[in-house]
Amino acid sequence: MSIEQAASTVDTWFEQPNVRFLPDTNATLRRSLDLLRELGVAGNLTTDAQIAAHALEHSGTVATNDADFSRFAGVKTLNPLLGPA
């Protein structure tokens, strides 16, 4: 996917009425670091930890096909590729 295609896709998401941007706050960043410390990792899981921190902060569910999110305690996930349960 080109950068223009990716940007167009993201723009389409933000046009949806049920989508909102969640900016990082100091609390979110601290929680991200806490999650990484609990796992004793960083690197590739850093972005996942930020997403997980937002999900925990906003009582949300992460829609993902990435099993790494199961490593973060308390984070609810939904695999959209599996369809309804």
Give yes or no for residue 37 having a pLDDT over 80: yes
> Chain-wide mean pLDDT for the chain?
92
Quote the percentage of the chain above a pLDDT of 70: 96
What's the pLDDT band for 41 if we cut at 50, 70, 90?
Answer: confident
Give the pLDDT confidence score for residue 84 in this predicted structure: 63
Average pLDDT over residues 26-38: 97
Give the pLDDT confidence score for residue 85 in this predicted structure: 56
**Superfamily for domain range 23-85:** 5'-nuclease (3.40.50.1010)
Q: Which residues lie closer than 8 Å to 29 by C-beta, 6 or more apart?
A: 50, 53
Dist CA 66 CA 17 (whole Å): 26
